[in-house]
Amino acid sequence: MVSCSFVHTCICIVTVQVWLLLLISGVGESGTPPQIKQAPCPCHDHNQCRRLPASSTKDKEAIVFTNASSDFTKWDWKSVTTVIATADSDNQTVQQLMCYAHHEKTKFGFQVDPLPHLDDFNTTSNDTQNWMRKIAQTRLDLRADMVVVDLVDIFHSEDVDLKALIKLLHHVKDSISPTSSIEKTPVTLTCVVPWKPPCVQNDCSFSQLAKKTCDLFLLSPGSYLYLKGYGCKARATIPATKMALGVDEYAVRGVHEDKIILGVPWHGYEYSCAKHSPDSEICLLNEVKINNNTNDTKCEVDKRVKISLGDMITKHFHYFKKSKTDLAYKAPYYTYHDNASTAYKQVWFENAQSLRHKYQYAHDFGLKGVGIYTAEDLSQTLSSRVEGFNGGMWNWILHGIIQQQVTQPPPTKYHSDTVAGIAIGCMILGIVLGIVFMVILFRVRAKKKIDRPFRKDAMDEYHDDEDLNL
């Protein structure tokens, strides 16, 4: 007969062996990396390593992205609520940026590296485990308040397993969540998505992604490049009509407006014109065949060149001052002749007026805020002209507009189902009114006194025409 103490000892040994195997493999029950150790505080003042307290859900966001190459001590920090570093987290400047941001009472975050394999969302694979472990380690070391995951390329791939992606992001969210009793402020997981929600495997709903993983959705300003049937010509980085359509579509598919961040660029794009019409100011671009065996073509929009506002002002100040505004796109542009390439080039960008329109839209429709790309678009060039422009440009955030509370209901948005319902309602109302009017008309005719038959004919036959005798 086996004693109880021996059985208990065996159970303990087996439990320890299983625990060691899980520790070696680096996988827990939830698929998340094991517990990791936080690096020492890199700030001179250790208070700057303390994450900020949770903000109110009603507070609006003015998020600024940066690669940490500009002098962040000269920024107008009063206009910024969160700064996101896109550079490598091992960069010492990124650590200094975190310390300075917390010193300015501004939240700090970082954008994670893309997945090793876009089509492999297996949470137990070594690549995915290492990827999640790095995110968790960086979040701890940088005392980050926000983690940004760029999903634009994933959603533009041909085949995406949405359920597997949601499961993976759920594990990422678990891995960045505070585990100690000292850290009580939750970490915000922000997902960068295309300007319009794509249908993934015939699933167009984003409600599960919003409920289980992403706290905020930032609409990528660079994703407007993916436009079909839009004409092969230079155009605004963010057409105003497409911006409104994208927000509307996300709202229809389960993402509430107060979880949407509107991404806006402070830079512009330069297009090389294959043909240029001076009268209409249209810059036509090259079209190339997608496949030599077919007649399908694509527009070479991807060959546009990014240009900062500093470079625009320094190199093209004459054209910049005389820029025109497209009323449909609500965006400025200018055209110039490049003597080096003997070709016309057209530059589309954002100015104070076009940005004001976007900020006002974010406010009026109750969006969470705006995400600005990037701080370096102001500070790359150090000419005296640009330095004088920088001070005014930081005011372009117009955070006062974003932070204003909506005192009146936002403008009515007509979703596709709403429009269809209104149309059907109008049709039914028209039918009912038509029947009512017909009934009233028949009742009036029924009550009317009927004259004697042929009475009118008899009256017409009788006449006293004495003139005939003349």
**Domain limits of the chain?**
23-267+353-418
C-alpha–C-alpha distance, residues 202 and 81, integer Å: 37
C-alpha–C-alpha distance, residues 460 and 221, integer Å: 82
- For the domain made up of 23-267+353-418, the CATH class stated in words is alpha beta
Buried b vs exposed e over 362-389: b needs ≥16 C-beta within 10 Å? bbebebbbbbbbbbbbbbbbeeeebeeb
- What type of residue sits at position 178? P
Instruction: Decide: pTM greater than 0.85.
Output: no
Q: What is the pLDDT along the chain (470 residues), one digit of tens a residue?
A: 444 454 444 444 444 343 433 333 343 333 444 567 888 999 999 999 988 887 766 788 999 999 988 889 888 888 899 999 998 877 889 999 999 999 999 999 999 998 877 667 788 888 888 999 999 999 999 999 999 999 998 888 767 788 888 899 999 999 998 876 556 788 999 999 999 988 766 666 788 888 889 999 999 999 987 555 567 889 999 999 999 999 999 999 889 999 999 999 989 999 999 998 877 789 999 888 777 666 677 788 878 999 988 888 888 888 988 899 999 999 999 999 888 777 899 999 998 889 889 999 999 999 999 999 988 887 655 556 665 566 566 766 665 666 665 444 444 454 555 556 666 777 787 787 778 777 777 776 666 555 555 455 544 444 444 443 43
DSSP string covering 117-136: -TT---TTSHHHHHHHHHHH
Alpha carbon 89 to its chain's center: 24
Q: Tokens 């087996």 — which residue?
A: 14
Distance from the first to the final alpha carbon of the chain: 151
C-alpha–C-alpha distance, residues 153 and 225, integer Å: 12
C-alpha–C-alpha distance, residues 123 and 132, integer Å: 9
Rounded to 10 degrees, the C-alpha dihedral 402/98/264/117 comes to -130
